[in-house]
């Protein structure tokens, strides 16, 4: 996921499907355990707190802040780290990632479903039984039905969700995507038996991961086919918290959902009474407010130039998480001069990756890989050691010297400085480079739109689910290029690479499949250079001394229901 930082955490992604296969012959009888064993990748900090230990205390208001508006509070449209972090405590799907840190947090567990599904027909049919008595929050105030889940997934296609591609292998989904008529035939919901059945076109070894993401959260049938982020009547929750109010460029208030009761141990009750999120707080301002005792929690990382000082002064209040976050610049292959592979390779040679890491306060490690170093599929390569002379020769050979190039980034520090660095690299190669920035709240939606489609853009990709497919296929398979909300911002569309990625998706999750993603990582970078990866990001956070119970999950990040405040 691209992030608001991320996915960085306001990002948008869309139109990509998976076709994983043969693993089902080995795991049908022990599906839940297999999901835990085969989950790979994410590393993260374990439980931590500004003051470890102690008995959790119920009550109190968490004073939180973020740098800009979230992308969306509508689960069908939300694709930023901040919103997924909030939605993990307000909304639910049939299954979820276990609310835990480390590898335990990669396990898929039942949520609205009473148990993991029965999988039949050689892995193409999933049958779920849905809990009875789970109620939607006010003002809906009624039980969640299987038909609500069917409605919610069909709604993704009607609102142009960035997540539709995860569900196009459901039988009838591709047709519904075109017509928006008649529903998706491969989703059969029965409110009498309280079951919902998914029929897939072909086996998909990561289908449960897709159902565990917020895109598949249950909303009440009748939710309008538009963004309901600012429509209180339709900001409906099922989890322990609900959105009470949202004022763009102002604040978000989350309160207890009075209709919530714990139907599964996989969804914690929560300890806080209220979460108040102030919008428009810079990383530097957040450090000051936490140090002064006026703020408890900040969604972003510590301001890079403040980290050393606060680590020295407040060591027990700083914790660094390792998350699968890749920072990079996208080179748009549709726009000259980036449509010339020699130019893209030249830029990769001309970028001093450690210099960019320094701009980000040293909060990470240099890389030129697509797959983050925290994933088991990661195999380091070094095709582009810094070599400005070679870069200039490639530009000379391309015949593009002197062209105008614009570099885009959000206005959140230190992205503008990173963009200025990239512009200086382009100028050193003989181009006329300028920088354009905009608010992070709209940035990622904008760069993912074909109508705007910048030549060079800053991006960050965070984990949607713990498998390297998320970092290779999602961003570089040409079959998923779309006009709005594209993941393939580089517009890479090489048939031979597409076929390799399609084949890799059909493999069972495991070492052989990981080797294919590693091979594709190397081949894409060596032969196409569609992006300039430069850093695997670590994530130092600064918390108030009264905040405890912090648990970092690789998909949902810090878990609000685990947090508590000392009196």
Q: Where are the domains of the chain?
A: 322-539
CA distance 134 to 322: 35
pLDDT digits (tens, 9 = 90+) for 372-411: 998 889 999 999 999 999 999 999 999 999 999 999 999 9
Cα 276 to the center of its chain, rounded Å: 23
In CATH, which superfamily holds the domain spanning 322-539? Answer: Dipeptide-binding Protein; Domain 3 (3.10.105.10)
Query: How confident is the model over 419-435, as a mean pLDDT?
Result: 98
Range with lowest mean pLDDT among 103-107, 247-251, 431-435: 103-107
Cα 145 to the center of its chain, rounded Å: 28
Q: What does the pLDDT read at residue 7?
A: 31
Query: How confident is the model over 176-193, as a mean pLDDT?
Result: 96
pLDDT digits (tens, 9 = 90+) for 3-19: 433 233 223 333 322 22
Q: What does the pLDDT read at residue 53?
A: 60
83, 71 Cβ separation under 8 angstroms? yes
**308 Cβ neighbours under 8 A, 6+ residues apart:** none
Q: Reply yes or no on whether the pLDDT at 236 is more than 50.
A: yes
512, 330 Cβ separation under 8 angstroms? no
Query: How confident is the model over 443-462, as a mean pLDDT?
Result: 90
Range with lowest mean pLDDT among 99-108, 144-153, 346-355: 99-108
284, 65 Cβ separation under 8 angstroms? no
Q: What does the pLDDT read at residue 466?
A: 82
Range with lowest mean pLDDT among 2-16, 208-222, 271-285, 519-533: 2-16
Residue for token digits 């299987």?
146
Long-range contacts of residues 338-345, Cβ cutoff 8 Å, at least 24 apart: 338/405, 338/455, 338/456, 340/398, 340/400, 341/527, 341/528, 341/529, 342/394, 342/395, 342/397, 342/398, 343/394, 343/395, 343/398, 343/400, 344/528, 344/529, 344/530, 345/384, 345/394, 345/529
**Phi and psi (nearest 5°) for 303?**
-55, 125
Tokens representing 43? Answer: 């590393």
Q: What does the pLDDT read at residue 464?
A: 84
- Residue 233 CB neighbours (<10 A): 11
166, 213 Cβ separation under 8 angstroms? yes
Residue for token digits 């809906």?
140
Q: Reply yes or no on whether the pLDDT at 112 is more than 60.
A: yes
Q: Reply yes or no on whether the pLDDT at 27 is more than 60.
A: no
CA distance 411 to 2: 16
Query: How confident is the model over 179-195, as a mean pLDDT?
Result: 97
Q: What does the pLDDT read at residue 88?
A: 97
Q: Reply yes or no on whether the pLDDT at 265 is more than 70.
A: yes
Q: What does the pLDDT read at residue 422?
A: 98
CA distance 532 to 37: 33
β-partners of residue 276 are 63, 253
**What is the overall mean pLDDT for the chain?**
89
């Amino acid at each position: 996921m691209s992030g608001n930082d991320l996915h960085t955490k306001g990002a948008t992604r869309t139109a990509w499907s998976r076709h994983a296969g043969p693993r089902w012959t080995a795991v049908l009888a022990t599906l839940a355990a297999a999901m835990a064993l085969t989950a790979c990748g994410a590393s993260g900090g374990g439980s931590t707190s500004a003051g470890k230990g102690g008995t959790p205390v119920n009550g109190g208001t968490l004073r939180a802040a973020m740098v800009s508006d979230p992308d969306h509070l509508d689960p069908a449209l939300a694709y930023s780290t901040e919103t997924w972090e909030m939605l993990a405590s307000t909304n639910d799907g049939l299954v979820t990632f276990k609310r835990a840190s480390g590898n335990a947090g990669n396990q898929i567990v039942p949520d609205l479903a009473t148990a993991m599904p029965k999988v039949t027909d050689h892995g193409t049919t999933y049958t779920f039984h849905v809990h009875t008595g789970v109620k939607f929050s006010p003002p809906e105030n009624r039980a969640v039905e299987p038909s609500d889940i069917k409605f919610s997934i069909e709604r993704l296609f009607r609102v142009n969700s960035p997540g539709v591609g995860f569900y196009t292998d459901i039988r009838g989904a591709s047709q519904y995507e075109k017509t928006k008529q008649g529903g998706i035939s491969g989703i059969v919901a029965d409110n009498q038996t309280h079951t919902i059945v998914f029929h897939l076109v072909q086996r998909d070894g990561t289908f449960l991961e897709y159902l565990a993401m917020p895109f598949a959260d249950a909303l009440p049938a009748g939710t309008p086919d538009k963004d309901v982020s600012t429509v209180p009547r339709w900001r409906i929750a099922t989890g322990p918290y609900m959105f009470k109010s949202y004022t763009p460029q102002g604040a978000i208030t989350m309160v207890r959902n009075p209709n919530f009761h714990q139907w599964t141990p996989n969804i914690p009750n929560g300890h806080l009474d209220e979460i108040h999120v102030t919008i428009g707080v810079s990383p530097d301002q957040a450090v000051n407010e936490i140090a002064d005792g006026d703020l408890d929690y900040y969604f972003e990382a510590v301001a890079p130039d403040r980290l050393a000082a606060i680590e020295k002064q407040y060591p027990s209040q700083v914790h660094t998480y390792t998350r699968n976050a890749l920072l990079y610049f996208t080179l748009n292959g549709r726009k000259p001069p980036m449509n010339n592979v020699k130019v893209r390779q030249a830029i990769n040679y001309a970028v001093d990756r450690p210099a960019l890491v320094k701009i980000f306060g040293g909060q990470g490690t240099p890389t030129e890989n697509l797959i983050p170093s925290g994933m088991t599929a990661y195999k380091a390569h070094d095709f582009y050691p810094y070599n400005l002379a070679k870069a200039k020769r490639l530009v000379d050979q391309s015949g593009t010297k002197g062209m105008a190039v614009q570099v885009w980034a959000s206005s959140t520090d230190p992205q503008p400085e990173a963009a200025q660095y990239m512009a200086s690299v382009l100028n050193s190669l003989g181009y006329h480079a300028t920088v354009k920035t905009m608010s992070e709240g709209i940035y990622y939606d904008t760069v993912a739109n074909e109508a705007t489609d910048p030549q060079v853009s800053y991006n960050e990709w965070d984990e949607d689910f713990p498998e390297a497919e998320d970092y290779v296929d999602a961003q570089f398979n040409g079959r998923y290029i779309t006009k709005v909300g594209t993941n393939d911002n580089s517009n890479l569309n090489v048939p031979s690479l597409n076929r390799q990625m399609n084949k890799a998706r059909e493999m069972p999750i495991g070492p052989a499949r990981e080797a294919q993603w590693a091979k594709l990582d190397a081949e894409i970078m060596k032969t196409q250079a569609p992006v300039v990866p430069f850093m695997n990001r670590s994530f130092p956070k600064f918390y108030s001394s009264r905040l405890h119970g912090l648990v970092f999950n690789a998909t949902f990040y810090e878990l609000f229901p685990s947090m508590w405040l000392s009196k």
